[in-house]
Amino acid sequence: MSIDDEGPRRPLSPPPRPPGSALAPASLAVHLGRPPRSPGGPLNPDIVLSSTFHQGGDLMYGRDGNPTWEALEDAVGGLEGGQALSYASGLAAISAVFECLPVPGRVVIAADAYNGTRRYLSDVAGRGRLRFRTVDIADTEATLDACSEVAAAPGRPSGAPGSFGAGGLLWLESPTNPLLAIADLEALTAGAHEMGLDVAVDNTFATPLLQRPLDLGADVVVHSATKWLAGHSDVVLGVAATRRDDVLASLTTRRSLHGGIPGPWEAWLVLRGIRTLDVRMQRCQANAAELAGRLRGHPRVTGVRYPGLADHPGHALAARQMSGFGAMLAFEVVGGADAAEAVALKCQLATAGTSLGGVETLIERRGRWSGEGDLPPGLLRLSVGVEDVDDLWDDLDAALS
């Protein structure tokens, strides 16, 4: 099936070169985080399996640093245009950012943000450490109105004026998980800053190859590196990146005191995955664009959510702030939750599983999880892999039919 002008448009390629860099992101992904070149020296960084280091140097104990982490952090920091810190998981990175907020923190977050982020906020809010409200982040005016209300709310938190989160925090995803809504990152960041709020962006879906939120004004970026960065469904790890020295220092302290550190082996695996991020993403999003167009014409599909579709509400915005539309899509099937669950389980090539960003295609009815929110009952989320696109289509078509 060909894709006409009304279907998904091809990913915008290549991504623009990061400001101040002589290399394109694809080249940076291959070469950042490697040891200095020397005759007979290794091409790849060592996996340093040590909890203790000789005194007199920068490192003394394994909870405070590791050379293998630092190689990964150099790579992610370079790709995002800031300085990065790695964590034991994506949620460890997310919680570290929220733990930097003064008490009681004030947060505005997308209503369909990642389930784990919202469950974390509900937990901490239940103990009086912060307050949060959810918004439709695709509605820029409504989101900024919520930020204004948060900024004007009585009862200032304990942080010093100007410290991170003292005026509140706007937490963004774009595209969102799982409804694939697009936020105007530049407008929302500028508006939130005018009101005294800081801004964090979960960039897991887009990756730094397709979107660089720090360039659009965000204060901090987080990734579940388990997903696209690692890319092989064999590691759990998170990353945060920032250009602010005060935020970096606070995140470093949170990581050391709370102990959410990654293992050296996991860090090395993510760094290895980043080497192929560009070629994986190109294939995955080309497959996603093709599948989105075919799914939209299927008689048992009532709707498709993919930013590359010309009729997606955020298509023009995504084309402006991203260099590609990514490899995540969602679609709704006739028959509601039971039918959607049956489709996921009947797939033979796509795997019914909870994750995303691997070389294999994963499919899941997100509404099966408690706390996921008010999702359409027949919604399926698809993380598109590198398989042959016709094989994927045959699999989906057979499951749907």
Strands of 116-219, DSSP E: 130-135, 169-173, 198-202
E-strand stretches of 20-152: 83-87, 105-110, 130-135
Single out the catalytic residue among 106, 227, 280, 305.
227
At residue 102, the 3 state secondary structure works out as coil
Give the tokens for residue 372.
Answer: 């996921």
DSSP string across 224-266:
ETTTTTT-SS----EEEEES-HHHHHHHHHHHHHHT-PPPHHH
The encoded tokens of residue 78 equal 């370079």
Q: Which one is catalytic: 112, 184, 198, 202?
A: 202
- For residues 92 and 260, the answer to whether their CB atoms sit within 8 Å is yes
CA distances from 240 to 45, 249, 259, 310 (A): 21, 12, 15, 32
* Rounded-to-integer distance, Cα 326 and Cα 306, Å: 9
**Residue 279: left (phi > 0), alpha (psi -120 to 50), or beta?**
alpha
Active site residue 202: yes
Please pick, among 87, 106, 114, 215, the residue that the annotation labels catalytic: 114
Q: What distance in Å separates the CA atoms of residue 308 and residue 314, rounded to the nearest whole number? A: 9
Helix (H) or strand (E) holding 146: helix 140-152
Q: Which H/E stretch holds residue 396? A: helix 389-400
Catalytic-residue membership of 244: no
Catalytic (active site) residue 227: yes
Known catalytic membership, residue 63: yes
User: Which residue in the list 63, 119, 131, 272 is annotated as catalytic?
Assistant: 63
Which conformational region is residue 102 in: left (phi greater than 0), alpha (psi within -120 to 50 degrees), or beta?
beta
Residue 160's CB: how many other CB atoms inside 10 A?
8
Long-range CB pairs of 117-124, under 8 A, 24+ apart, other chains included: 117/91, 117/171, 117/202, 118/371, 118/373, 119/371, 120/91, 120/94, 120/95, 122/371, 124/98
Just list the catalytic residues: 63, 114, 202, 227
